[in-house]
Amino acid sequence: MHSVAGVAPTPADDRSTPARIRDAAIRCFAEAGVARTPVRVIAEAAGVSPALVIHHFGSKDELRVACDRHVAALIRQQKSDSMQAGASLDPMMALRTYRDGPPLLAYLARTLVDGSPHVSELLEELVADAVSYMAEGEASGLLRASGDPHGRAAVLLLWSMGALVLHEHATRLLGVDLLGQPDQLLGYVRPAMEVMGQGVMTPEAYERLTAAMPAEPTTSARGDARATPSDAPASQET
């Protein structure tokens, strides 16, 4: 990765100052990570003073939260648009949506491994968003209905976010740069669409294997299990 010192200032445009700072921060965080990016570097990239960054966001941590929310909102909108398109969806056009603007995928690849508690909040938001826009996909005829919408959304998110974290290995194994230009992603997108569209197991194998598994806990039960370990009394204080 190149040093963030070389990040060019955001060109003058009609966006508000907070928006320019936020987008500059996304680029800088994507390049070097949150911990290694001082406020002064973000300010330089945005063409403002460090004091103005703090004036608008209060701290670098709050700026990072604003970046998380903006990235989640952009992904939510793009996915929702794709799901509503249904069978008329143009997959390449959907990929090219990410071409302009801040580097969302590179930002996610960096932020997912920084160990911050904000990562949990971001992933929870992304899963909730996925449940919502995948329901739109069911309504438009693009997706099959699910008996466990939350579980499906969470698994798909884990797979896609894991791919971003392992993007260097994707380059080695598939010859694609997951953080690069959309037109270069076909080596990943085609097999991914085969898995999602045609499946891997035969229908007979799926029926046999799922029938042999114990009953799934409900989504609410899974949430309760996360909040209170099964081997600890529910009233136990921490």
Classify residue 76: in a domain, yes or no. Answer: yes
> pLDDT value at position 116?
80
65 with 139, same domain?
Answer: yes
> pLDDT value at position 82?
84
Q: Output the furthest CA–CA distance in the chain (Å, rounded).
A: 63
Alpha-carbon distance 185 to 70, whole Å?
24
Alpha-carbon distance 196 to 157, whole Å?
13
Classify residue 221: in a domain, yes or no. Answer: no
98 with 27, same domain?
Answer: yes
Q: List the pLDDT tens digit at each of the 238 positions of the chain.
A: 333 444 444 444 557 999 999 999 999 999 999 999 999 999 999 999 999 999 999 999 999 999 999 999 988 988 898 888 876 766 656 656 655 567 888 999 999 988 788 999 999 999 999 999 999 999 999 899 999 999 999 999 999 999 999 999 999 999 999 888 777 788 898 999 899 999 999 999 999 999 999 876 655 445 544 443 344 333 333 3
Cβ(60)–Cβ(110) under 8 Å? Answer: no
Residue 94 Cα distances to 12, 90, 151, 183, angstroms: 27, 6, 24, 11
- SS3 for 183-230 is HHCHHHHHHHHHHHHHCCCCHHHHHHHHHCCCCCCCHHHHHHHHHCCC
Cβ(189)–Cβ(94) under 8 Å? Answer: no
C-alpha torsion sign, points 135, 137, 141, 145: negative
89 with 51, same domain?
Answer: yes
103 with 203, same domain?
Answer: no
C-alpha torsion sign, points 224, 227, 230, 233: negative
80 with 174, same domain?
Answer: no
156 with 173, same domain?
Answer: no
* Other Cβ atoms closer than 10 A to 146: 14
> pLDDT value at position 98?
58
Classify residue 227: in a domain, yes or no. Answer: no
28 with 106, same domain?
Answer: yes
> pLDDT value at position 14?
52
> pLDDT value at position 97?
61
- Residue partners of 177: CB distance under 8 A and separation at least 6: 167, 170, 171, 184
> pLDDT value at position 7?
43
Alpha-carbon distance 29 to 22, whole Å?
10
Domain span holding position 170: 166-213
Q: Residue type for 102, please?
A: P
Give 71's DSSP letter.
Answer: H
Cβ(31)–Cβ(42) under 8 Å? Answer: no
> pLDDT value at position 107?
92
> pLDDT value at position 130?
93
3-state secondary structure of 49: coil
Cβ(151)–Cβ(139) under 8 Å? Answer: no
> pLDDT value at position 45?
96
86 with 144, same domain?
Answer: yes
Cβ(4)–Cβ(28) under 8 Å? Answer: yes
> Could you identify the residue written with the tokens 């300010």?
43
10 with 23, same domain?
Answer: yes
> pLDDT value at position 181?
75
